[in-house]
Amino acid sequence: MSIPSLIITQKISSEIIVEMAWRSFGANPSSVQEILLQSKSEQTFSGLLAQHMQAAEEFNLGRVDDHTSGMVLLEYKGVDYETVSGRKVKVSRNFHDIVLVNHDGEIEVIIENKFWYHFDGSKGVKNQKPEAGIAEQLKEDIFKIRRSLGSGLPAKRGFVLINIVTPSSPDLLPKSYFGHHKKLWTRSNFDLVSDREKGLAGVQSVLDIFKENGLINETMCSSPFIPGSGFMDIICAEVKL
C-alpha cells in the first residue's frame, strides 16, 4: 500500500508561497522590518517563512500520527553530487534552505530562498547589467532541487523564492553594497519608482532565461510605497522537474 503524499505537497503553489512570505515579513513591527531589509540574511527570511508554514492549519504540519502531515525543516540535507575541476572529482554536499519531509524523512517539497537588493538587478554606470551571481545561483539551485527530487516519490515539488529589497536607509548598508546602490539611485534621477523598476527589470531578465526549461508558474507580490519605509518585491517560481 503506497503512502499518500503530504497535504502540503498537494496544496502548495508559487502563489501561496509568495503570499505567506509576504505575511511572515509583514507580521513584524516596522523597525524590525527595516532591520530585516538591511540584513541580507536568507536564513532569517527562511526561518520566518518556515514558522508561518508550520502554523498554517490548511497544511496540517507537525502531526506525528497522520501520514498526510509532515515537518518543515531548515538547511536539510538533500542528494549530494559530483563536480569535476581539472582532473579532480569533488563531492559537493547538498543542503536546501526549506524542505517539507514526510514521516520517512523523504523530501517532498523544496524551497530555495534568495535575497538580493534592487541594485543587484542593475549594476554599473555605462553598461548596466544584473549581478552575475543571480544567474549562477539560480542555475545551481535548479540543479540542486532536481538532484534531490529526481527519483523516488511521484509527488514532489520544488520552488525558487526571491526577495528583492531596498531598505529605507540605504546609507546604513555596508560600503561594499552602498556604492552599487548609489549608482542605480543616480541613474534613476533619485526617483524611487524608477530605481525600483530598473532593479526589478534586471532580476526579471535573468529569470526569463530559465523559463524555457527551468522555471514555471511565476508569481510576484510587491509592497506598496510608504514614505520613509523600505520596499520589497517577492517572486516565486516552480522548478520544472
**In this structure, is residue 2 part of a structural domain?**
no
**In this structure, is residue 162 part of a structural domain?**
yes
Query: 216 forms bridges with which residues in the sheet?
Result: 238
| pLDDT of the residue at 125 | 79
Residue 121 DSSP class? G
Burial class (CB in 10 A: 0-12, 13-18, 19+), 128: middle
Cα gap 163→181, rounded to integer Å = 16
Number of domains into which the chain is organized: 1
Burial class (CB in 10 A: 0-12, 13-18, 19+), 212: exposed
Closest C-alpha among 52, 16, 36, 190 to residue 117: 36
Cα gap 181→184, rounded to integer Å = 5
For residue 112, what are the contacts with CB-CB under 8 A and spacing of at least 6?
96, 97, 98, 141, 144, 145, 158, 159, 160, 161
**In this structure, is residue 65 part of a structural domain?**
yes
| pLDDT of the residue at 43 | 94
| pLDDT of the residue at 153 | 64
| pLDDT of the residue at 128 | 87
**In this structure, is residue 137 part of a structural domain?**
yes
Cα gap 48→32, rounded to integer Å = 12
The boundaries of the domain holding residue 147 are: 7-239
**In this structure, is residue 1 part of a structural domain?**
no
Cα gap 100→73, rounded to integer Å = 6
**In this structure, is residue 129 part of a structural domain?**
yes
CB atoms within 10 A of CB 186: 11
Per-residue pLDDT tens listing for the chain (241 residues): 456 689 999 999 999 999 999 999 999 999 999 999 998 899 999 999 999 999 999 999 999 999 899 999 999 999 888 777 777 878 888 999 999 999 999 999 999 999 999 999 999 877 889 999 999 999 999 999 999 998 666 689 999 999 999 999 888 888 888 888 888 888 888 888 888 999 999 999 999 999 988 899 999 999 998 888 899 999 999 999 8
**In this structure, is residue 45 part of a structural domain?**
yes
CB atoms within 10 A of CB 84: 8
**In this structure, is residue 175 part of a structural domain?**
yes
